Structure 1
């Protein structure tokens, strides 16, 4: 009887149709997360005019909806390790679609806020589960790059929102941005049919047949059978206990807090820029359409940061790239406060996108892999939840600064502070206590580990 470590099979596999299927669905889901984040800021100038609301009120609405993401990350990420990550993603997509459409149909700001809050619960739970599944099903050799490319979907979602704001909303209505949110609901049946559940989830429930089916798709020549030993007892033991408590056991407590601080600062910058960049540029004298073009450039920068950073992370290490990006971001934001040249502004804002959302996209798989497989959705979910606190505070804090009459150019310099703190957070992570997957080798009998991977319970 062969002894099979299912996660090692995936780690040693070569990218094929199965991996591509998982990638495309995660790309699609993450794309709507990016669209959701950007569409509020894109439609905000028209919304403020229609409902006659102030900058502080608009910032508060943005924060209320982001609080929904915090709730989703805390609740829907932690239960996913028990109920199944695919199942939770289905629920998240349903919540987002139905209530985003409801936000578009809202007759006033109060109903809009309620709809946005509920839709955001879905978005808050979707990202950590998509990240953990994509990380689980990516070959180790190309994992950083694959997950980084997946996040291009996030930036493309933001680009789509910007283009709709530039070319469709002026001829229709800002609500058009929200009507499009119904698309995930339409595609949900196909997603449920094609998308796999976590192997860890199946092993913990002794559903060997489903594990065998997945492994034979991941590694077609492996000829895996239900009679093989899949170490079900170890998987069952790893699933026991509180996933949240395990974030602080086995000397992970200090690193967990460091991760939370870093993600808090990262999402504070990301959501602050996505929410207020068009309005900030409008206040410096640009038209609404021109202001949205800066949001488009920000998204392009996010793509470049994700792709180039993911490639470099495979060469010289995840943490080195993350720390470098945040230091570069601090310099960029200070430079933004010191220039009014249009070309320089476009260039620096693109760099800012790479050093905020681009860095966030690289940080998520790094954080996910830091934790043992059985609690990875919880690990990234609670990290995202800490970040959501920063994202909640950012729109209101920036609105308050704008209400004081602060020059928008000077406001950019304030982003340098969280950028430096985020860099420090990643520096302080104790990698020696992490559960990073190790590459494995194949042989004629199946898959043997070059170095045994320990699953820390």
Structure 2
């Protein structure tokens, strides 16, 4: 690594460019993800495509099913073709898929568009996390990942304003045309985003990786001993279960399942549930803004706390507080109190899930980091598929209040699983510093 102060400053600026590009990509990811929930009250009230709550829940699950496919394949594809290539392809795919939604003339076509968009959305996030992990300052990976995830919630805020400004005067299709615009960003990514250092090292392109590490003034990831860089993708997956790692892997997967059930259940149905409580559409969309503002604050706070105390511990505490907040939303409260509860729920909910990803990314070895994060995210997507469907079924049966209770119970389960992972990690650290990579070089 370069020791020149001038070179170091230039490297820091270049690394900031990498984080900035990834931040914008995830912003567009958040916009595309939240836009359906933001326009859903309008779609239901106007009975577009003959939508009912249960059908709307199915449509919400189509996108998260696509995200499941994208997340499960992202790691293995990225480990073969590179993180940069996959990021460009993901942005291109979900942008074009939004065009399919904007021109849809039936539920089937709209559902196809949301499924394809989900594949791109699911592929982008774990890849972007892996990318910023490579270019984060030493010992600050968790907070940089938290900063990256603020973009997802900024996209959620943008989706609420897009719906608020366009749906009534222009129509819901205009909102999805806005989601096509990130297609113009794909060539920018292709031009200015460097390749992942972990990918280069894993492929045996160490000299190229070292040159980039020096240029960006970041740590060069170490190659895994005893394994070739071109290791088979299934070997990378099997590595997650070697020795005692299988227990931690399953705990992370189970925590991610409950967390994403909660995240996408709330993200899909929050405006509609609040509309059902009697709030005007504009007020219901304001809850989306407040919820995502809380998410941004939560990412920044949780990242710092995770760097100090460990991501698993912070995630467990955050899930406990989330469960309490979501449950309170089933209780009728004054508007001002409800806003505070929604904000605090956003603070804890979204960052709790992200700290699971931060833990997996930091603890994983360089040449299978994308696989580890991708599969953790992918297993969680089963919960993400179930969450919107569950909310739709409960609403269709006239049991909307039970939706908040069900989502709160999902938060409790994630708290338990990540809490066990935290305790096991602490015991391993006391035996020999197995958590050294998690707390890296404080």
Would you say same fold, with TM above 0.5? yes
Question: 1:422 — aligned with what?
Answer: 414
Question: 1:173 — aligned with what?
Answer: 171
- Structure 1 gaps of 5+ residues are 7-12, 225-229, 442-457
User: By how many angstroms is 1:183 displaced?
Assistant: 2.4
Aligned length: 423
1:275 aligns with 2:271: no
Matched ranges for 1:340-359 at <5 A: 340-359=333-352
Q: 2:153 aligns with which of 155, 171, 175?
A: 155
Matched ranges for 1:33-44 at <5 A: 33-44=29-40
The 1:55/1:277 distance shift into structure 2, 3 A limit, reads same
User: By how many angstroms is 1:317 displaced?
Assistant: 2.3
Q: 2:228 aligns with which of 203, 228, 237?
A: 237
Question: 2:395 — aligned with what?
Answer: 402
Provide, for residues 268-315 of structure 1, a one-character-per-residue CA deviation record: whole Å limited to 9, x for no partner: 011011101111011111111111111111111111111111122222
Greater mean deviation of Cα atoms: 362-371 or 152-161: 362-371
Separation in 2, partners of 1:297, 1:205: 44
Question: 2:13 — aligned with what?
Answer: 17
Matched ranges for 1:257-272 at <5 A: 257-272=250-265
Q: Normalized per residue, which structure has more helix?
A: 2
Separation in 2, partners of 1:45, 1:68: 22
State whether residues 146 and 300 of structure 2, in contact with CA within 8 Å, keep that contact through their aligned partners in structure 1. Answer: yes
Separation in 2, partners of 1:252, 1:33: 31
Question: 2:331 — aligned with what?
Answer: 338
Partner secondary structure for residue 193 of structure 1: helix
Question: 2:382 — aligned with what?
Answer: 389
Partner secondary structure for residue 101 of structure 2: helix
Separation in 2, partners of 1:286, 1:354: 22
Q: Scaled by the length of structure 1, what TM-score is found?
A: 0.87
- Structure 2 gaps of 5+ residues are 3-7, 429-433
Partner secondary structure for residue 242 of structure 2: coil
The 1:407/1:397 distance shift into structure 2, 3 A limit, reads closer
Separation in 2, partners of 1:283, 1:390: 24
Q: 2:70 aligns with which of 72, 81, 93?
A: 72
Question: 1:436 — aligned with what?
Answer: 437
Separation in 2, partners of 1:239, 1:372: 14
State whether residues 67 and 381 of structure 2, in contact with CA within 8 Å, keep that contact through their aligned partners in structure 1. Answer: yes
Q: Scaled by the length of structure 2, what TM-score is found?
A: 0.90
Separation in 2, partners of 1:231, 1:137: 14
Partner secondary structure for residue 414 of structure 1: helix
Separation in 2, partners of 1:136, 1:248: 23
User: By how many angstroms is 1:203 displaced?
Assistant: 2.4
Q: 1:302 aligns with which of 281, 295, 300?
A: 295
Separation in 1, partners of 2:204, 2:63: 39
User: By how many angstroms is 1:132 displaced?
Assistant: 0.9
Provide, for residues 122-159 of structure 1, a one-character-per-residue CA deviation record: whole Å limited to 9, x for no partner: 11111111011111211123222221111111100000
Question: 2:56 — aligned with what?
Answer: 58
Q: 1:291 aligns with which of 267, 284, 301?
A: 284
Separation in 2, partners of 1:356, 1:47: 27
Q: 1:141 aligns with which of 139, 142, 162?
A: 139
State whether residues 255 and 417 of structure 2, in contact with CA within 8 Å, keep that contact through their aligned partners in structure 1. Answer: yes
Q: 1:311 aligns with which of 300, 304, 326?
A: 304
Question: 2:26 — aligned with what?
Answer: 30
Question: 2:404 — aligned with what?
Answer: 412
The 1:419/1:23 distance shift into structure 2, 3 A limit, reads same
Provide, for residues 422-455 of structure 1, a one-character-per-residue CA deviation record: whole Å limited to 9, x for no partner: 11111222333567266469xxxxxxxxxxxxxx
Separation in 2, partners of 1:182, 1:382: 28
Separation in 2, partners of 1:320, 1:76: 27
User: By how many angstroms is 1:180 displaced?
Assistant: 1.6
Question: 2:313 — aligned with what?
Answer: 320
Separation in 1, partners of 2:439, 2:335: 46
State whether residues 139 and 439 of structure 2, in contact with CA within 8 Å, keep that contact through their aligned partners in structure 1. Answer: no
Separation in 1, partners of 2:367, 2:281: 47
